Amino acid sequence: MVDSRPSVSSVSGAASAASVSGASSFTDAHRTHGTHSTPHAPATPLARTRRARRINRLLADEYPDAHCELDFTTPLELIVATVLSAQCTDKRVNKVTPALFAEFPDAACYAGANREHLEELIRPTGFFRNKAANLIGLGAALCDLHGGEVPGTMAELVALPGVGRKTANVVLGNAFGVPGFPVDTHVGRLVRRLGLTTETDAVVVEREITAMVEKKEWTMFSHRLIFHGRQVCSSRAPKCNVCVLATLCPSRAASEQERVK
């Protein structure tokens, strides 16, 4: 377990990673609130850390049942479902996976799959040709390198076909209980709107946010942000009037100032 209070050096390091280019991206993301004003993030790394932890506490109260919404029973099912979830909703993936999991119960089945048949099974998830190729490669790699089992470390996971840090963090946090902070479109949008970062690169966002929040909270903080992004802080029509984070959100404050002008 890491110390719940990040050191000054770790917080400062996270802050220094924010680039000038990220500022313009934050402005673009903020325009979904109906304003072209650039919201002001907390001025210091310590202030951002305090805000992040308060946000996490508020969201924990708001979403006590936050969880991974992909249906799975094994690490293999989760990694497959997460690969399919790229550019696709969890609900749509969950409609596809029951038949898929029944026909492909282990890594060897994916490795030996008929590509055209697999493509048809996963077609509703989009980008089905690339995803089918990744699943076949994933199955082969698991059989060749890991005895058909899904490995439980970041380094081993990201070396697999079709698996990046987001997928690896999902698998680590939800299949193995290893803290991870997946950064999807909802997470990225919210942490920028809330003034915790100006970065758009998911790897940098992950590094900055995990420096602010206790390690044991990483997985759940991501789930809570995703729940809030889906239910309240949507991309085009955020429900600021019912948002539990409204008083902490610089994007809402900037929007209100713009309306007053």
pLDDT of amino acid 19: 38
pLDDT of amino acid 252: 77
Q: Enter the DSSP assignment of 153.
A: S
User: Does residue 110 sit in the same domain as residue 142?
Assistant: yes
pLDDT of amino acid 255: 58
Place of tokens 């049942």: 65
Q: Return the closest-CA partner of residue 206 out of 239, 181, 235.
A: 181
Which one of 127, 156, 175 terminates a domain?
175
113 torsion bin: left (phi>0), alpha (psi -120 to 50), beta (else): beta
Of how many residues is the chain composed? Answer: 261
**Per-residue model confidence as pLDDT tens digits over 2-11:** 344 344 344 4
Residue 221 to residue 229: CA distance in whole angstroms: 12
Whether 38 and 198 have beta carbons less than 8 Å apart is answered as no
Active-site residues: which are they? 166, 184
Q: Picking from 19-28, 32-41, 148-157, 205-214, which range would have the lowest pLDDT averaged per residue?
A: 19-28
Residue set of the binding site: 233, 240, 243, 249
- Residue 146's CATH number: 1.10.340.30
pLDDT of amino acid 251: 86
User: Does residue 145 sit in the same domain as residue 170?
Assistant: yes
100 torsion bin: left (phi>0), alpha (psi -120 to 50), beta (else): alpha
**Mean per-residue pLDDT of the chain:** 87
Q: Enter the DSSP assignment of 216.
A: G
pLDDT of amino acid 31: 37
**Residue 20 pLDDT exceeds 60:** no
Residue 106 lies in a domain: yes
Structure tokens at 154: 């970041």
User: Does residue 104 sit in the same domain as residue 36?
Assistant: no
With a pLDDT cut of 90, the percent of the chain lying above it is 79
User: Does residue 53 sit in the same domain as residue 89?
Assistant: no
Which one of 141, 175, 209 terminates a domain?
175
Specify the pTM: 0.81
Q: Which domain holds residue 138?
A: 75-175
Task: Please give the backbone phi and psi of residue 243, each rounded to the nearest 5 degrees, phi first.
Answer: -80, 125
User: Does residue 150 sit in the same domain as residue 212?
Assistant: no
Residue 130 lies in a domain: yes
Binning pLDDT at 50, 70 and 90, where does residue 34 land?
A: very low
126 torsion bin: left (phi>0), alpha (psi -120 to 50), beta (else): left
Residue set of the binding site for [4Fe-4S] cluster: 233, 240, 243, 249
Residue type, 243: C
